[in-house]
Structure 1
Amino acid sequence: MDSFSVFGNPIKHSKSAEIYALFAHEIGISKKYNLKLAVQDNFNYLLHNFFNLGGLGANITSPFKENAYFLCNQLTERAEKARSVNTIKKLKNGTLLGDNTDGIGFISDLKRINWLDNNNQITSHEEEPITNILLIGAGGAAKGILPILLTTITTCHINIVNRTFSRAQELTSYYQEIGYKNISCLPLYKLRYDTNKYSLIINATTSNIHNTIPKIPYFLITPDTKCYDLFYTKQDTLFITWCKKNGSNYCSDGLGMLVGQAAHSFFLWHNTFPTIDPVINHLRSVFYM
Structure 2
Amino acid sequence: MTTTDRYAVFGSPIKHSKSPRIHRLFAEQTGQALSYEAQEVTAEAFPATVKGFFEAGGKGLNCTVPLKELAYRFATHKTERAQRSKAVNTLVLQTDGAILGDNTDGCGLVTDLLHNHRLTLTGKNVLILGAGGASRGIIGPILGQSPTRLVVANRTTDKAVLLAEEFKSIGDISGCGFEELGRLQFDLILNATAASLSGQLPPLPDRLLASQASCYDLAYGNEPTAFVRWGFAHGARLSLDGLGMLVEQAAEAFFIWRGVRPQTRPVIELLDGERKKA
Cα offset for 1:39? 1.2
Shift of 1:238: 1.0
Count of matched residue pairs: 273
- What code does the residue aligned with 1:166 have? D
> What value does the CA root-mean-square deviation take over the aligned residues?
1.6
Structure 1 position 213, deviation (Å) = 1.6
Paired residues of 1:2 and 1:34 also in contact (CA < 8 A): no
Q: How big is the shift at 1:2? A: 6.9
Say if 1:214 and 1:239, in contact at 8 Å, map to a contact too.
no
Deviations 1:187-229 (A, max 9, x none): 111212x3x3211100000112332122211211245111111
Q: 1:247 to 1:58 in 2, by over 3 A?
A: same
Q: Quote the residue 2:134 is aligned against.
A: 141
Q: Among residues 176, 181, 187, which one is paired with 1:186 in the alignment?
A: 176
How far apart are the structure 1 equivalents of 2:35 and 2:192? 31
Please report how far the alpha carbon of residue 56 of structure 1 lies from its aligned counterpart in structure 2 after TM superposition: 0.2
Q: What runs of 5+ residues in structure 2 fail to find an aligned partner?
A: none
Partner Cα distance (1:41, 1:287) in 2: 33
Q: Residues of 2 paired with 1:216 and 1:269: CA distance?
A: 40
Q: Structure 1 residue runs of 4+, over 6 Å off?
A: none
Q: Distance in 2 between matches of 1:54 and 1:237?
A: 39
Which amino acid in 2 is paired with 1:145?
I
- Tell me what 1:127 maps to: none
Task: Return the match for 1:115 from 115, 119, 137.
Answer: 119
1:199 is paired with a residue of what secondary structure? strand
Which 10-residue stretch deviates more, 258-267 or 227-236? 227-236
Listed one character per residue, the Cα deviations across residues 162-203 of structure 1 (whole Å, up to 9, x for unaligned) are 122222122112112xx13500011111212x3x32111000
Letter matched to residue 129 of structure 2: I
CA distance in 2, matches of 1:14, 1:184: 33
Identity %: 37
Q: Which residue of 2 aligns with 1:70?
A: 73
1:214 pairs with 2:202: yes
Q: Does 1:106 align with 2:126?
A: no
Aligned equivalents of 2:33, 2:275: Cα separation in 1: 23
1:160-199 equivalences under 5 Å are: 160-176=152-168, 179-192=169-182, 194=183, 196-199=184-187
- Cα distance in 1, alignment partners of residues 228 and 77 from structure 2: 38
Runs of 5+ consecutive residues of structure 1 not aligned to the other structure:
122-129
Q: TM-score, normalised by structure 2?
A: 0.94
2:260 is the counterpart of 1:260: no
Mapping of residues 1-289 of structure 1, within 5 Å: 3-111=6-114, 112-116=116-120, 121=122, 130-151=123-144, 153-176=145-168, 179-192=169-182, 194=183, 196-287=184-275
Summarize the Cα distance change of 1:256–1:47 in structure 2 as closer, same or farther, 3 Å threshold: same
TM-score, normalising length from structure 1?
A: 0.90
Deviation string, structure 1 residues 33-65 (Cα, Å, up to 9, x no partner): 111111121111111111111110000111111
1:124-154 alpha-carbon deviations (Å, 9 max, x no partner): xxxxxx4211110111111111111112x21
Residues 86 and 135 of structure 1, relative CA distance in 2, 3 Å threshold: same
Separation in structure 2 between the aligned mates of residue 216 and residue 51 of structure 1, nearest angstrom: 45
1:186 is matched by which residue type in structure 2?
C
Taking the aligned partners of 1:228 and 1:156, their CA distance within structure 2 comes to 18
1:170 corresponds to which letter in structure 2?
L
- Which has the larger share of strand? 2
